[in-house]
Amino acid sequence: MYLEMKMIFSSMACIMIAIVMILVIGSNTLLGFLLLMAIGLVIMGDMLIGIKITKNHLQPLLDPMKANEEICILFDFGGNVDFVKTIKGPLGTRQFVKYKKEASIINSGNYQIHLINGNHGFVGHESYDCNIDLKKAEALDKLKGDDIKEIYKDIKGGEKSGV
């Protein structure tokens, strides 16, 4: 929404500059050329910002979400972060599309976040069936194993036995 508004304002500014440029070209060609370059730079800057935002899936960080949507800060197995827009489902499930496939994750409520623009969200992992509790992240780094599901099972088993 905000990107579209930015493009509308930039387009209006370019039209105004073009009107001034038509009047200036008759008296000074160099000044008209500089105004034309200014229009090109404004448009190029807007395009670069828009491409970067859409390529990195950052629209949920800018635009407000509907009442039935949440953002998931999704960590993958490689340690990369993706901001995914999820749709609320029954019993804490959240549906979304990742790698062109439908997926779901459970929002257990352990680590809720609130973004500056008012959006609500949570932190999740690519395994899709468990969330990351950032309070335990330091302990996870010290445990043996590569599979995140096994590490979580070991922790949950240790918590039940009193360890």
Q: Are residues 142 and 78 in the same domain?
A: yes
Domain assignment of residue 100, yes or no: yes
Question: What pLDDT is stored for residue 161 in this prediction?
Answer: 42
Q: pLDDT per residue over 118-161, tens digit each?
A: 888 888 877 655 555 555 555 556 666 666 667 667 666 655 44
Is 75 domain-assigned? yes
Span of 47-61, 78-92, 114-128, 141-155 with lowest mean pLDDT:
141-155
Give the pLDDT score at 104: 82
pLDDT at 37: 85
User: In which order are the strands placed within the sheet that holds 93-98?
Assistant: 101-106, 93-98, 81-88, 69-75, 120-125, 112-114
Mark whether 41 and 74 lie in a shared domain.
no
pTM for this prediction: 0.55
In this structure, the answer to whether residues 20 and 49 fall within a common structural domain is: yes
How many structural domains are present in the chain? 2
Measured between its terminal Cα atoms, the distance across the chain in Å is 50
> Residues 42-48: what's their mean pLDDT?
85
Q: What is the per-residue pLDDT for 162?
A: 42
User: Quick one: pLDDT at residue 136?
Assistant: 59
% of the chain at pLDDT higher than 90: 1
Answer yes or no: do 49 and 71 share one domain. Answer: no
Q: What is residue 158's predicted lDDT score, i.e. its pLDDT?
A: 57
Tokens linked to 5: 């508004």
Same domain, 103 and 42: no
- Do 31 and 69 share a domain, yes or no? no
Residues 86 and 130 in one domain: yes
18 and 50 within one domain: yes
| Token duo for residue 74 | 């999704």
Q: pLDDT at position 163, please?
A: 40
Looking at the domain assignment, is residue 29 inside a domain? yes
Contact 111, 71 (CB under 8 A): no
**Assigned domain for 7 exists:** yes
Q: Residue 121 falls within a domain, yes or no?
A: yes
pLDDT band at 58 (very low <50, low <70, confident <90, very high): confident
pLDDT score recorded for residue 155: 66
Q: Which domain holds residue 135?
A: 65-160
Q: Is residue 60 part of a domain?
A: no
Quick one: 22 and 71 in the same domain? no
80, 143: one domain:
yes
| Integer Cα distance of 26 and 79 in angstroms | 58
**Average pLDDT of every residue of the chain:** 77
Q: Note whether 90 and 119 are same-domain residues.
A: yes
Please check whether residue 104 lies inside any domain of the structure.
Answer: yes
Residues 15 and 40 in one domain: yes
